[in-house]
Amino acid sequence: MALDFDLARLPNPHLGHEHEEWRNQLRRFFDSHVCPYAAQWDEAGRIPDDLWPLAGDMGILGLGYPEEYGGVSEGVDIWHKNILNEELARVGVGGVSATLMVHNIALPPVVNFARASIRERIVPPVLAGQKRIALGITEPGAGSDVAQITTGAKRQGDHYIVNGSKTYITGAMNANWITTAVRTGGEGAGGISTLLIPTSANGVTRTPLDKKQGWWCSDTATVYFDNVKVPVANLIGAENQGFKVIMANFNDERMAMSAAMEAFARVCLEEAVEWARERQTFGQRLADHQVIRHKIAEMKRMINATQSYVQVMSNNVQNGNAHAGDIAMLKVQCSQTMEFCAREAMQIMGGMGYMRGSRVERIYREVRVNAIGGGSEEIMRDLAARQYGL
Ligand SMILES: Cc1cc2nc3c(=O)[nH]c(=O)nc-3n(C[C@H](O)[C@H](O)[C@H](O)COP(=O)(O)OP(=O)(O)OC[C@H]3O[C@@H](n4cnc5c(N)ncnc54)[C@H](O)[C@@H]3O)c2cc1C
């Protein structure tokens, strides 16, 4: 049927045999190691530690990273990454990818901007799933407005002394390092640096934030820095150039989130259609009532449009000519599609949809974190308007 997760995907002329093979490998991996357990992990509030080395062995953690650090980059393009994000979304437990894949927002600054000695020490064990890394930008007093962060790093000889705190940090409770935005200079964006802080350093403490609407199995924490001594060698990029390092990361994060959100919408479509075909009301299948048929058609229309936009932007990223405003708008398109489809699927499933345990019920609770994290819808529109020169 054209409305299940796989068949609801529009043709993509950029995909070849090797992409389909990658999808099959991932499908087998997730179907055997993740899907049967993911709902229980979410209820339990954590995923097992041995999933990281397993994902490392599969090349999931290293996808797109340099081979010299244990990554897999030969022949890898944006479509391989999109396929991974789609297959992670198909699991229907967003907390799994949020925490398992958080290195994809924390590690690229290290790979692209840290000195060689740091890269050689940090990147291989993270890609192998032996060590973990998180990204610390948000603070209690500064979220969307990154330029207002106040966590300070004062130079003292060969070290910085760091004081302050970060909050809502994914993966922080179990991270060995945190790629952290700190203030080394004056006010605003020009006074920010990015510093790799080991969580084993004296003065680092962490508190879990485990009362969340969704992403229950993803570790989220507040991190406190109390006179933490960090070598100057741990600077990622030049001093006071950290804002650029952080911004360079955002487009990739938004593309990855977009591919995942479109796929979450497709999961909602698949589940709603299956239910509407089985459930009988007023003497006929739900799927035979015109109002329900229109809901499903609308979901597919939104998904079609969103997929097409994902395809165009992915192709542009692959060719190195993606526009940051268009990527920002893609993220909004995708979160709104996910929100619409989660809402309609929940409605079609009636009381059944409200019961815990289904993918749709969980995805419904995970909409907002997607619409807010990685740049909220409001901030994305504002960024796009600026990029378009309004
Ligand atoms: C589960 C979870 C995991 C997260 N993981 C991480 C992580 O790993 N690392 C990290 O650094 N951060 C992380 N975050 C933080 C996330 O990036 C921030 O929540 C996000 O940037 C928004 O910041 P804020 O929550 O402070 O909201 P605020 O910036 O206070 O904004 C509140 C609301 O006002 C809107 N708003 C703000 N400014 C404007 C404006 N100028 N015009 C119009 N509307 C505006 C926003 O869109 C939002 O809707 C995570 C958050 C969550 C919930």
Which of 274, 374, 386 has the alpha carbon at shortest distance from 334? Answer: 374
Q: Is residue 4 part of a domain?
A: no
Distance between CA atoms of residues 348 and 214, nearest Å? 21
Report the residue among 132, 138, 146 best suited for mutation to probe ligand 1: largest number of ligand atoms under 8 A from its CB. 138
- Ligand 1 centre to CA of 59 (Å) is 31
Q: Give the pocket of ligand 1 (CB within 6 Å).
A: 134-138, 143-144, 168-170, 212, 215, 220, 369, 372-373, 376, 378-379, 382
Q: Nearest-5° angle of CA 101, CA 32, CA 131?
A: 30
Confidence check: pLDDT of 1 > 80: no
Distance between CA atoms of residues 321 and 317, nearest Å? 6
Same domain flag for 120 and 176: no
| Mean model confidence pLDDT for the chain | 97
Structure tokens at 50: 């041995």
Distance between CA atoms of residues 383 and 377, nearest Å? 10
288-301: per-residue pLDDT in tens? Answer: 999 999 999 999 99
pLDDT at site 125: 98
Q: Is residue 3 part of a domain?
A: no
Share of the chain above pLDDT 90, in %: 99
Residue minimizing CA distance to atom 11 of ligand 1: 137
Q: Is residue 11 part of a domain?
A: no
Of all atoms in ligand 1, which is nearest to the CA of residue 172?
8
Same domain flag for 256 and 205: no
- Ligand 1 centre to CA of 313 (Å) is 24
Task: State the average pLDDT over residues 103-125.
Answer: 97
Report the residue among 367, 376, 378, 383 best suited for mutation to probe ligand 1: largest number of ligand atoms under 8 A from its CB. 376
Distance between CA atoms of residues 99 and 191, nearest Å? 30
Question: At which of 102, 127, 152 does a domain end?
Answer: 127
Same domain flag for 192 and 57: no
- Number of separate domains in the chain: 3
Cβ pair 99, 107 in contact under 8 A: no
CB-count burial class (<10 Å; 0-12, 13-18, 19+) for 121: middle
- Ligand 1 centre to CA of 168 (Å) is 9
Q: Domain containing 256: what range?
A: 244-387
pLDDT at site 357: 87
Which of 65, 361, 84 has the alpha carbon at shortest distance from 213? Answer: 361
User: Which DSSP category does 358 fall into?
Assistant: S
State the CB neighbour count (10 A cutoff) for residue 384.
Answer: 20
What CATH number is associated with residue 83? 1.10.540.10
